[in-house]
Amino acid sequence: MLSPHTRRRLYRLLPFALIWVGSGWVFFIVELAATDNARALPDTAIRVDMQIFIFSTLAMTAVGLLIGLIEIHYLSRVFVKKRFAVRLAYKLFIYSLLFLLVVSITYPVAASLELGTSITDHRVWQKYLHYAGSITHLSTGLQLAASLLLALFYTEISEFIGHKVLLNFFTGKYHQPIEEERIFMFVDMKASTATAEQLGHVAYFNLLRAYYHCFTQPIIAHEGEVYQYVGDEIVLSWKLRGNELDKRCISCFFSMQQSLQKRSQWFEQQFGIIPRFKAGLHKGKVTTGEIGDIRKEILFSGDVLNVTARIQGLCNNLGADLLVSADVREHLGDMEEYKFQFLETAELRGKQTKTAVYAVYPRLCTEWKVQRKESPSVLHHLKPMPVGVVVVNDEGVVAGDLCPAFHTGDDSGVGPQL
């Protein structure tokens, strides 16, 4: 079975091949119509038979995939900080050089097929030299440029709104609202207001960029869908499948923590702080559909989103980085790597019934309970050994080891993180 990363690469590459093949066929049909079914073709043009048509189709597919590989894995990263117009100018120049190389290879091959001779035949190269200074060459260049602009436009739109969202728009999957069952995760940066005041707006925005970038690979690896970025909050969702794959949401959270921790030294050097985050998880039915007249958007509507936001809002008071609802706990069942710890039955704002919430942490961590004393941020962690107690307060860890899935409850970020 292909990994999520490999599947995503293929899904992003295939449209390039389809765009290039499709546009090539369109130009071919237009050319046939303009030249009276090829009876008025200039001598520099290649007369197309089935063999040359198949070769051209395969060549356009290969060029499309090559452009996709270059675009996705190289140029999109090199020019990520450039403005759109600047990116476009650089890419057009680079691809122009590439096209000269491609045409200098494919035209002689096609000419040799047309003439029924070897590619080393002098007639092939005479035809190529004649073609290089003809209107046919210019026509080919314009066709390639049009295909390239279409592919680059697709890339920009796909990166802007997301590949899956774009695909759903094209297929019309949510043109009529449908009901789905999903797990939602609301991820919120700790102490974001204080951080923004400390850094200033521009530096804080750069921090957010780097912060969200750390989440990219974990989200892809666990096949999460980014629903929204709302300031310092990101909303993720997974469509329920009713099998072990539904447990990816838990693993995704801890992978995000690990990814952020790997760059902790860089964040401290660049911004003077190490960002932390907390999250809430809940599942339920939502109505999904396209909405909006001025700007189209695929919208999730349902009480599950409100409940997830409220659960995430309990993280500070309960001193946990990750909280899940009883519905999620029951649906996922026991997990080999992670443990669920019941905290309390909470009364959520706007809900008449109380909701049981659980903290989640790696099984290597200690079991724990919250004891309210002078400050709600004081946690006592009970280790599964005879007497191991860990006390955490605003001064830091007093004794023992702090489970990385928990914090002091006041957004101070005290204690180690995953």
Q: In the prediction, which pLDDT does 96 show?
A: 84
Residue 219 φ/ψ, nearest 5 degrees: -65, -45
Q: In the prediction, which pLDDT does 181 show?
A: 94
H/E element, 273: none
- What's 398-412 look like in SS3? CCCCCCCCECCCCCC
**Each residue's pLDDT expressed in tens, for the chain with a length of 418 residues:** 678 888 888 888 888 889 989 988 888 887 777 665 555 566 666 677 788 788 888 988 988 898 888 888 888 778 877 887 888 888 888 888 888 888 888 888 888 888 888 888 888 888 888 888 787 778 878 888 888 888 888 887 877 777 777 777 778 888 889 999 999 999 999 999 999 999 999 999 999 999 999 999 999 999 999 999 998 999 999 999 888 889 999 999 999 999 999 999 999 999 999 999 999 999 999 999 988 888 888 899 999 999 999 999 999 889 899 999 999 999 999 898 899 999 988 878 767 678 899 999 887 764 444 433 333 333 333 333 222 333 333 333 333 333 444 443 333 333 333 3
Beta-sheet strands, E only, within 203-271: 225-230, 233-239
Residue type, 409: G
Rounded Cα gap, residues 246 and 328, in angstroms: 10
* Whether the Cβ atoms of residue 335 and residue 298 lie closer than 8 Å to each other: no
Q: In the prediction, which pLDDT does 43 show?
A: 61
What angle, 0 to 180 degrees and rounded to 10, lies between the N-to-C axes of helices 201-221 and 192-199?
Answer: 130
CB neighbours (10 Å) of residue 97?
A: 9
pTM beyond 0.75, yes or no? no
Label the pairing between strands 277-291 and 322-325.
Answer: parallel
Q: In the prediction, which pLDDT does 400 show?
A: 32
Question: Exposed (0-12), middle (13-18) or buried (19+): which is 18, by Cβ within 10 Å?
Answer: middle
Q: In the prediction, which pLDDT does 111 show?
A: 84
Structure tokens at 250: 């838990």
> Which DSSP state fits 366?
P
Domain-wise residue ranges, the chain = 4-161, 175-364
Q: In the prediction, which pLDDT does 234 show?
A: 96
Among the listed residues 366, 346, 368, 348, the one whose alpha carbon sits nearest the alpha carbon of residue 356: 346
Fold of 175-364: Alpha-Beta Plaits (3.30.70)
